[in-house]
Amino acid sequence: MKSISHIPQSKIQRAAKLLKIGSQVGTNYIKYIGNRIISDEEKSRSRLNTANAQDIYDGLSELKGSALKMAQMMSMDDGILPKEFVEKFSLAQFSVPPLSGSLARKVFKNSLGINPEEAFTSFDKESIYAASIGQVHVAQLNEKKLAVKIQYPGVAESIISDLKLVKPIALRMMKLKNDEIEDFFKEVQDKLLEETNYNIEVANLAEARELSNSFTKILIPKVYSELSSRKIITMEWMSGLHLSEYSDQEQLQNKRNEVAQNLWDFYMFHIHKHKKVHADPHPGNFKVNSNNDLVVLDFGCMKEIPTEFYTSFFKLAEIKNLENDTLFTETLHELDIINDVDSENDIKLIKSVFKKMLTIINKPFQFEEFNFSSPEYFKELLLLGNQLMDDKSLKKLNGKRGSKHFVYVNRTLIGLLGLMNSLNAGNVKVNNYKKYA
């Protein structure tokens, strides 16, 4: 893959790049109109989506940072974007054009005051993984193999201005109003700013290692603080296949089930025991080693779940609470899903939609064991997502819906379900996490 030797950093440069992307999308649309004359609508639309996805992804890959990160986030939910976009944007998880070796070396020197060749016994100038905010290089320190994560230059400084540029596009794509998503955008902005401060991630890694020490089949890398900074993280190298590769290659169902159980336990343990969770559950952040241990990587995006939100959110995970109309209505109010200005008809619609949605989504929590290899469950989820996207009555509801905490809590749970599905996991013990201290 060809490396990048320059990343646009000024507001003008980045805005110009986004305008160029918009121009390319416009050109693709003109071609689409012409193709409809000589081809059927479905094929023409698919070609348009493929061309737009490629052009947008290529442009965002040059920009790096928050715009590319948002594309990655949207790729985790099949219900938001057409499949052509999901397939292309998912590459942002760990396979984007990397920074050139010389530029990465410069970032390292500016951050730590020494060249990587002075810090390590050896240092591979070409990265082995590249994502939206940083890339990973392999290094050696005496006999120890290390992973060195280097942040792209200008990423932290451009987050706020990038989001201002991307926001109108997102509003048009999702057909929303500015005041309906202002709190959610602020939540995303704050989390992205946290992700670009690697000092926070170093602290998160240390905390996660300590809190997870009762897991025997889950590994979290050790960090070398003296070789880390706000823009550099040096940690022990963790061997293994990324979860997507493992899902494709592992044939033994019992091994897949073991990994799935560990993954589920890891998430449920941190959500329920500590109310702080790894909120970036995509395949690039997990590996499985030769012992079938689950390796958890990248703790830059952690979500602390306020007790009040946690209590209300998981109250609705119990089906019996959905049948208690008074309790159900009160809980929807607590979560800001029902507003004081809603009419009786609005409230009736919201309750009907959420009861149906929660009944499907929360199915796994109603059993001691749940079969995540069941295609029927995920088909139900997909159909539900499509119905909600097409529901015209929901689009007529005014005002902001839901607490800002839904952004990363929902992202975490939807991402986890996607990983369980990719593992084709058999019966998983839903409450197994309770055995860990």
Q: Per-residue pLDDT tens, the chain, 437 aa: give them.
A: 556 555 656 565 655 655 555 555 555 455 545 555 555 556 656 666 666 666 666 666 665 556 666 666 655 555 555 566 555 555 555 556 777 888 899 999 999 999 999 999 999 999 998 888 889 999 999 999 999 999 988 888 888 877 777 777 666 655 566 676 788 888 988 998 999 999 999 999 999 999 999 999 999 999 999 999 999 999 999 999 999 899 999 999 999 999 999 999 999 999 999 999 999 998 889 999 999 999 999 999 999 999 999 999 999 999 899 999 999 999 999 999 998 888 899 999 999 989 998 999 999 999 999 999 888 888 888 888 777 767 777 767 766 788 999 999 998 998 899 899 999 998 999 999 999 86
pLDDT recorded at residue 283: 87
Give the C-alpha distances (Å, rounded to integers) separating 424 from 17, 24, 377, 419: 40, 38, 12, 9
- C-alpha to C-alpha distance for 204 and 217, rounded to whole angstroms: 20
CB of 228 within 8 A of CB of 150? no
Give the C-alpha distances (Å, rounded to integers) separating 263 from 250, 318, 396: 16, 22, 39
- C-alpha to C-alpha distance for 299 and 206, rounded to whole angstroms: 10
CB of 241 within 8 A of CB of 290? no
pLDDT recorded at residue 32: 44
What are the helix (H) ranges across 178-232? Answer: 178-195, 198-211
Task: Give the H/E segment covering residue 140.
Answer: strand 134-141
Burial of 61 (0-12, 13-18, 19+ CB in 10 A): buried
Nearest to 180 by CA among 49, 336, 330, 19: 336
CA 310 to chain centre: 20
CB of 196 within 8 A of CB of 255? no
**For the chain, which residues make up each domain, given as ranges?**
11-98+155-193
CB of 292 within 8 A of CB of 259? yes
Q: Report the alpha-carbon angle 141-147-148, nearest 5.
A: 90
